[in-house]
Homo-oligomer: A and B are copies of this chain.
C-alpha cells in the first residue's frame, strides 16, 4: 500500500472564478516536487461559481458571500481537509468573518505575498497592486504590506476602472487577447513609473491576462505564492495563518 508523504489534505475554497481555481490547482501540482502521482498532495476542491460577486458586496451593490464561504468551508472540512486555501484575493476581505467558524487553519494568501516580498533581492520598499476595486477598497494589501514595512502604490481611479477592471471582466468572460494584455501592461507601467519595484497581480484573473515578462519588474502571482506556501507547510509546518 502506498503511504502518503504527508497527512495534510489541502482544501481549496474556489470558484471565484472557476478558471482561476483551475489555474491555482495546476500551479499547486506544478509546485509540488515529485516524479509520480503518489508524491502529490491529496486535495479537495469546492468550486462554487454561484458565490455572489465579492467586489459587488464590498461596494454595497450585492449580497454578502459569507454564507456561501461558510458552506464551502464546511464541505471541505467534512471531506477531510486539514487546511484551507482561498485562491481569490477579494474573498480575503471576508476571511475575518469566517475564520472562527471554519475549524481549520486558513493559509492567508495576502499575508503570504507580503512575506514573500520581504524575501526578494534587491529589497522591495515599494510595491504596486493590480486588483479588483473590491480588494483595493477593502485595504487588504495595504494592511499586510504595512505590517512588513512596504509602501503600496495603487492605480488612479481612471486606470483602475478602465484598465484593470475592464481586463478582469474580460478574463472572467474567457477573453485573453492582446487588448486585455495591453490594458494590464499599461496599468502596471503606471505603477512602476511611480516607484513600484514589484507589481502584485492581486486578482487571480490577472496572471491569466498578463504574462510575467510584460512588466519590467517582478510580477508577483499570489496564487503561485500561496501554492508554494501550501507545499512548504505540507512538508514542514509553516504559513501565515489568519489569526496568528
Q: Which residues of A contact B (CB under 8 A)?
A: 1-4, 15-19, 21-23, 25-26, 28-30, 32, 35-53, 63, 75, 78-80, 172-174
Contact = CB atoms under 8 A, between A and B. Distances in A.
A18 B43 contact: yes
B44 A49 contact: no
A80 B46 CA distance: 10
A41 B142 CA distance: 33
A41 B49 contact: yes
29 contacts: A1-B52, A2-B63, A4-B50, A15-B37, A15-B40, A15-B42, A15-B43, A16-B37, A18-B29, A18-B32, A19-B29, A22-B22, A22-B26, A22-B28, A35-B172, A36-B173, A37-B49, A37-B172, A39-B49, A40-B49, A42-B47, A42-B48, A42-B49, A42-B50, A44-B47, A44-B79, A46-B79, A78-B78, A78-B79
B21 A25 contact: yes
Given A18-B29, A25-B22, A45 B42 contact: no
